[in-house]
């Protein structure tokens, strides 16, 4: 009996070690790729910030006949998918450059005809029909993004930004939940 228990103990120990090593490899891979490619790692928006941003988007789109919501760097799809399930008559589009998060988000959206994920640099995205933009990117990317959006949007757009604000645009609202670590910004941007 005790031999069986020891064997089980070793099996669980080895499974734990393999799991920790795999997670560390994947995590380090994303950190290295993000560092060298100067892109944000695929860290999802979570907790109160996610709840607040999604509630904001919902109150903005719920009364509209149709709206297009895009996530710039859509990661694992965790912002768009809950909205797409709740609002089947609206369109949700995610642009993601990293393969693994993109594939997982495609898999998660397989039964949702109103969601599209593209493996594409969002600086080549089509902003003509966009009503709402979601974004969680590094500060350096945010500063390049603002003038790009000003040139490419065709109507007034509501923008929800996690953590790193646009430096040259005054937000409609700044919502701080835990100091500077859990904060999001709401902007309204019109074509310049
Ligand atoms: C911090 S994650 C945010 C994920 C998701 N938007 C969320 O808030 O849960 C940023 C994502 O943007 C992607 N990304 C960074 N630069 C990009 C670019 N130029 N085009 C497309 N995706 C990009 C990264 O691969 C990463 O998955």
pLDDT at 27 over 80: no
pLDDT at 62: 94
User: Ligand 1: distance of its center to the CA of 167 in Å?
Assistant: 19
Question: pLDDT tier at 2 (50, 70, 90 boundaries)?
Answer: confident
The burial of 112, by beta-carbon neighbours within 10 Å (0-12 exposed, 13-18 middle, 19 or more buried), is given as middle
End-to-end CA distance of the chain: 76
pLDDT at 34: 67
* Phi-psi label, residue 90: left if phi above 0, alpha if psi -120 to 50, beta otherwise: beta
Segment 62-86, tens digit of pLDDT? 999 999 999 999 999 999 999 999 9
User: Ligand 1: distance of its center to the CA of 43 in Å?
Assistant: 8
CA distance 72 to 66: 20
User: Ligand 1: distance of its center to the CA of 1 in Å?
Assistant: 51
pLDDT at 36: 64
Closest to 42 measured CA to CA, from 10, 86, 78, 15: 78
Segment 43-60, tens digit of pLDDT? 999 999 999 999 999 999
pLDDT at 110 over 70: yes
pLDDT at 145: 96
pLDDT at 52: 97
**Atom 11 in ligand 1: residue holding the nearest Cα:** 73
Closest to 139 measured CA to CA, from 62, 39, 28: 39
Query: Does the beta carbon of 99 sit less than 6 angstroms from any atom of ligand 1?
Result: no
Rounded percentage of the chain residues whose pLDDT exceeds 70: 95
**Atom 18 in ligand 1: residue holding the nearest Cα:** 121
Query: Does the beta carbon of 43 sit less than 6 angstroms from any atom of ligand 1?
Result: yes
**Atom 16 in ligand 1: residue holding the nearest Cα:** 39
CA distance 11 to 43: 31
pTM: 0.85
Question: pLDDT tier at 25 (50, 70, 90 boundaries)?
Answer: confident
Question: Domain map of the chain by residue range?
Answer: 1-37, 47-189
User: Ligand 1: distance of its center to the CA of 7 in Å?
Assistant: 43
pLDDT at 107: 97
Domain formed by 47-189, architecture: 3-Layer(aba) Sandwich (3.40)
pLDDT at 1: 65
pLDDT, averaged across the chain = 92
């Amino acid at each position: 009996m005790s031999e069986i228990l020891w064997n089980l103990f070793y099996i669980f120990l080895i499974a734990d070690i393999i799991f920790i090593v795999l997670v560390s490899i994947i995590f380090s891979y994303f950190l290295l790729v993000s560092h060298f490619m100067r892109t944000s790692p695929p860290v999802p928006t979570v907790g109160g910030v996610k709840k607040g941003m999604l509630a904001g988007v919902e109150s903005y789109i719920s009364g509209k006949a149709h709206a297009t919501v895009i996530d710039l760097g859509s990661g694992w799809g965790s912002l768009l998918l809950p909205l797409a399930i709740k609002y089947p008559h609206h369109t949700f589009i995610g642009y993601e450059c990293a393969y693994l998060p993109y594939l997982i988000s495609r898999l998660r959206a397989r039964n949702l005809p109103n969601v599209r994920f593209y493996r594409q640099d969002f600086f080549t995205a089509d902003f003509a029909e966009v009503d709402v933009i979601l974004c969680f990117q590094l500060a350096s990317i945010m500063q390049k993004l603002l003038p790009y959006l000003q040139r490419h949007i065709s109507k007034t757009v509501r923008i929800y930004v996690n953590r790193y604000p646009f430096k040259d645009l005054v937000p409609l609202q700044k919502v701080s939940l835990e100091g500077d670590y859990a904060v999001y910004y709401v902007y309204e941007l019109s074509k310049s």
